[in-house]
């Protein structure tokens, strides 16, 4: 049991699990999500299980056509889409700040590994 992600211990879900959930929701399968994220199917499955444990609800169901979100999973996907859109808007804010000197970004390892690193080239794009 991972005490860090027990409901009483923290109010924030594990970021790597959110990224895995988003990929499965977007792509419809654990296999496609694993390929997209560059990890194994087992890693994606473990992250999904950790997220469901954190939320205390099933978020996805397996069907003959792939993975489908439960109503709770749809609610999470909707909120997560808004959050990721907001993070994406940070690009414009960072560009504006760059004209005032160097940009320094402090992020957790999970955010850096699973979200920021893949998007760093966009910060240099015109």
Dihedral (CA of 117, 122, 125, 126) sign: negative
Q: Which residue has the higher pLDDT, 88 or 17?
A: 17
By CB neighbour count within 10 A (0-12 exposed, 13-18 middle, 19+ buried), where does 105 fall? exposed
**Is residue 8's pLDDT more than 60?**
no
Per-residue pLDDT reduced to its tens digit, 71-116: 999 999 999 988 888 887 888 888 777 776 666 777 788 888 878 8
Q: Range with the lowest mean pLDDT among 39-43, 58-62, 104-108?
A: 104-108
Q: Is the pTM of this model over 0.95?
A: no
Rg (CA), the chain: 16
- For residue 99, give both structure tokens: 């004209």
**Is residue 57's pLDDT more than 80?**
yes
Residue ranges and CATH numbers for the domains of the chain are 3-89 (1.10.10.10)
- For residue 71, give both structure tokens: 């109503």
């Amino acid at each position: 049991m991972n005490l860090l992600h027990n409901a009483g211990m923290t109010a924030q879900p594990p970021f790597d699990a959110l990224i895995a959930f988003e990929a499965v929701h977007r792509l419809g399968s654990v296999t496609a999500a694993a390929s997209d994220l560059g990890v194994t199917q087992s890693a994606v499955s473990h992250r999904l299980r950790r997220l469901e444990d954190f939320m205390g609800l099933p978020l996805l169901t397996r069907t003959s056509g792939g993975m489908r979100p439960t109503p709770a999973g749809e609610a999470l996907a909707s909120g997560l889409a808004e959050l990721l859109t907001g993070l994406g808007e940070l690009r414009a804010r960072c560009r504006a700040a760059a004209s005032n000197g160097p940009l320094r970004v402090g992020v957790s390892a999970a955010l850096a590994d699973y979200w920021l690193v893949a998007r760093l080239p966009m910060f240099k794009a015109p």
